[in-house]
Structures are given as C-alpha cells and as structure tokens.
Amino acid sequence: MSGHATFEPKNPALKWFESRLPLVGLIHSSFIAYPTPRNLNYWWTFGGILSLMLACQILSGVVLVMHYTPHVTLAFDSVEHIMRDVSYGWLLRYIHANGASMFFIAVYIHMFRGLYYGSYKAPREVLWILGCIIYLLMMATAFMGYVLPWGQMSFWGATVITNLFSAFPVVGPTIVEWLWGGFAVDNPTLNRFFSLHYLLPFMIAGVVVLHIWALHVVGQNNPTGVDPKTPKDTVAFTPYATIKDAFGMVCFLIFFAWFLFYIPNYLGHADNYIPANPLVTPAHIVPEWYYLPFYAMLRAVPSKLGGVLTMFSAIIVLFFVPWLDTSKVRSGVYRPLFKQFFWIWVLVCIGLGWLGSKPAEGGYIIAGRILTIWYFAHFLIILPLLGLFEKPKAVPASITEAVLGKKGGAPASVGVSAPQTKG
C-alpha cells in the first residue's frame, strides 16, 4: 500500500500552515494519494453516494427550517406554505422528502454489498459496527422527520411507533410519556422530534467521520476479499476512484431526479396530505417503505413485547455478523453456497418489505412468520454453519492476478485456473 506520493507543499505560506496543522496533508493522504484496490466495482461507489446524500439532506433541511413552524396548529400549513409560496420551496421539500428515500436505497445497497463481499470481517469489525450505528441513527432521524409535516400518517405513525415502547414491563409507560412529553402525541412530541431531527444528522456526520477514519486505517475491502499486497494491486484515489465515484454519483442523481421531478409523491403516502386528526384513524397505518421489513416482523409475532423485541433484534443481530460468519474466506465470490443463501436472504428482506405494506391478516401473517424466522436463521444458523461445512473455491493469490486473469491474455499471470466468478 506504499509507493504513492505524499504531500510536500512548495508554497511558503502553505508550508508554514502545514507545519502547524497538517490539514491539507490529511486531505491529500485521504482523498488523493490514498491507495484503493484496483478492482473495485460500481457497488463500491455507494459510500460516496451516501456522503453526497447526507450533505444534500443537511443542506436542504437547513433551508426548510427557515420556513417551517413546529407547532401542531401551524406545521401542516407551513409545509404547504413552503410548497406554494417559498421560491423553489416545492423543490426543496421534494428534495428533502425523496432524498430521505434515496439515502435509504443507497444505504441498503451499501449494506448488501458489505454483506456479500464480507466487508465486515477482520480487521473491519469496528468499521462495520460504526456503519450499523449510522443506520440506526438514520432510522431515528427519518422517523422523526416524517412526523414533522403533521399529516395523518405523521401523527398515527408516531402514535404507533412510540406506543411500542409501552410493551416493556415496568418502565414502558414511563418511557412512552417521556417520549410524548405528556399523555398523548401532541405539541410537546412534535417539538422534541423537531429538535432531535435537527440534531441527529450532525451526529450521523460525526459517526461518518469515524467510519471513514476506520476505513482508512484498515483499507478498503475489494471484490476478491484479498488484501492488496504490492503497489500494483492498488491505484491512487485521485484520479481513479474520484472519477469512478463521480460517474456513479451522477447516475444515482439521474435516478433521484426521476422521482424528484416526475413522481415526487410516489414514495410517500397520500394520507399525509390530510392534516393530523387525533379523532380519525386511517384505515391502514403504514410506515415509510424503508421500515416495512421491520414492521412486518413486528406484526408477525403474536405478543406485543415479543414483536418489539424481534424488530429491534433484527437490527442488533447485524452488529454481531463479524463473529457469526465463521468462514475463513472473505468474499462471497468464492463461496458457492453462501452466494445462494445470500440472494435468498435478499429476497426474504424484500418479501418482508412487501408484507409490511399489507394489512396484518390471514396469509400475510403466516408468510411474515416464515420470512421472519428465515431472516434470523440466516444469521444465527446458516452463517455459522456455512463457514464450517462449505468448501470454498480457490482464492486468487493477489488482486492483480484476479484482474489480469479475468482478461485471459496476460502472460505474466500464473493464476489462469483461478475462479473467474464475476462479482
């Protein structure tokens, strides 16, 4: 991982500054000279895309706050004021609302990528756990953000989710009253959610800094899962990774813009255009799409406390994946059985998401139970056992060998017999 240029300023002013605070050197070593594996595919651009989305959400959010009023009698109309009277307010609000969904699409792809290529394995456990913490913070932030427009789904979503905490014995009701700031979801709830919705993104940004720091200590994983061994295995972050990330980001923005400009309410719920009314319960209370798999798990368990614990466990189990996966081989590319189970698990997650949007009745409940059991079995049974019984394919000796072997014609390569599975 050595052999790339270090930062040596020529300019005397910069030299003076650099010897006192090596800030430019830090940027240089992190985003210019930083060695990245030469074989990263486009699934690796989602880290950059997520940084872009975080910045996009914070910027649009800060401007929205200039026009929003966090009060139960004014919140709904102030959002509509943004949509109608603020210059490009409709754009800001649709960016922020759809941006949240885009943020989650990107984070799910980023997590699936990590799980497929074994990016959580030693020495990247802390990196993975920091990522899980970011995901939890994102869920809390998005939930509170959805409450702010104070529409019907805002209100009833907040009511259902905060009520979940009442399932805990002894402390449950106290926690719920504390969350509400009273005895029902009302103005104090809206105010504290607003305050926390503004705070949490900056906490996310802080953990993102730790996440990137940890990444730069252990280095990036890559589709082969083989650590870089020679300078030939890596390329400098700039221009190679920057240009590839930039292309990935712009492609993602095209996808974002499709929703933003043409179907901005597709990912939302029509009921949230009805002002909140504590006396009228919507026919189906449905959370935002990114919570649906967990919502399905919640409803799959017949006891309320059991459902809540199942739902939280579904996220907590992710923290332990580095130790639940017993395989010595890092990348799923060389694990024929794991690969199949991985895709089954992806389908299970999507299936749970679909079930979460359906009413909790009949066959939906049964299907929800089967898929919930499979979700946990994947982590608690399949992953530990696969490592013991699976016979992995031969792993290439180096990244360069894997890349040039793939091209087929390189005479220097001795690993032609190495597996050629595409990531």
**Footprint of other proteins (CB under 8 A):** 38, 77, 80, 83-84, 90-91, 94, 159-160, 163, 166, 183-184, 186, 235, 239-240, 243-244, 246-247, 250-251, 253-254, 257-258, 260-266, 270-271, 273-274, 278-279, 281, 283, 299, 302, 304, 354, 358-367, 404, 407, 410
Q: Are 190 and 75 in contact (CB under 8 A)?
A: yes
Q: Of 285, 300, 284, 308, which Cα lies nearest the Cα of 364?
A: 300
- Smallest gap from residue 302 Cβ to other proteins (A): 5
The residue with tokens 């102030």 is: 78
Q: Is 96 annotated as a binding residue?
A: yes
- Smallest gap from residue 275 Cβ to other proteins (A): 8
State which residue, 166 or 337, has the beta carbon closest to other proteins. 166
- Smallest gap from residue 400 Cβ to other proteins (A): 9
State which residue, 346 or 360, has the beta carbon closest to other proteins. 360
Q: Is 378 annotated as a binding residue?
A: no
- Smallest gap from residue 62 Cβ to other proteins (A): 21
- Smallest gap from residue 417 Cβ to other proteins (A): 21
Please report the DSSP string for 392-420 in residue order. PPPPPSSHHHHHHHHHS--TT---TTS--
State which residue, 37 or 322, has the beta carbon closest to other proteins. 37
Q: Between the CA of residue 5 and those of 30, 125, 232, 364, 368, what are the distances in Å?
A: 12, 29, 14, 58, 54
State which residue, 261 or 323, has the beta carbon closest to other proteins. 261
State which residue, 153 or 386, has the beta carbon closest to other proteins. 153
Q: Are 421 and 393 in contact (CB under 8 A)?
A: yes
The residue with tokens 């998005």 is: 142
State which residue, 96 or 358, has the beta carbon closest to other proteins. 358
At residue 42, what are phi and psi to the nearest 5 degrees?
Answer: -70, -15
Alpha-helix residue ranges (DSSP H) falling in 66-186? 75-84, 89-116, 125-147, 152-164, 172-180
- Smallest gap from residue 409 Cβ to other proteins (A): 10
Q: Which amino acid is at 242?
A: T
State which residue, 21 or 283, has the beta carbon closest to other proteins. 283
State which residue, 286 or 382, has the beta carbon closest to other proteins. 286
Q: Between the CA of residue 231 and those of 66, 225, 236, 239, 390, what are the distances in Å?
A: 50, 17, 10, 16, 32
Q: Output Rg (C-alpha) for the chain, integer angstroms.
A: 24
- Smallest gap from residue 89 Cβ to other proteins (A): 8
Going along 153-276, which residue ranges are E strands?
A: 234-236
Q: Of 115, 191, 125, which Cα lies nearest the Cα of 383?
A: 115
For 328, counting Cβ atoms within 10 Å of its Cβ (0-12 exposed, 13-18 middle, 19+ buried), the class is: exposed
The residue with tokens 């504590």 is: 278
Rounded Cα distance, 188 and 410, in Å: 68
- Smallest gap from residue 84 Cβ to other proteins (A): 6
Q: Are 362 and 303 in contact (CB under 8 A)?
A: no
Rounded Cα distance, 53 and 30, in Å: 20
Q: Is 110 annotated as a binding residue?
A: yes
State which residue, 163 or 421, has the beta carbon closest to other proteins. 163
Rounded Cα distance, 13 and 325, in Å: 51
Q: Which residues pair with 36 in a beta bridge?
A: 235
- Smallest gap from residue 311 Cβ to other proteins (A): 14
> Residue 367 corresponds to which tokens in the numbers above?
């299907």
Residue numbers in the known binding site for heme b are: 96, 110, 197, 211
Residue numbers in the known binding site are: 96, 110, 197, 211, 216
Residue numbers in the known binding site for a ubiquinone are: 216
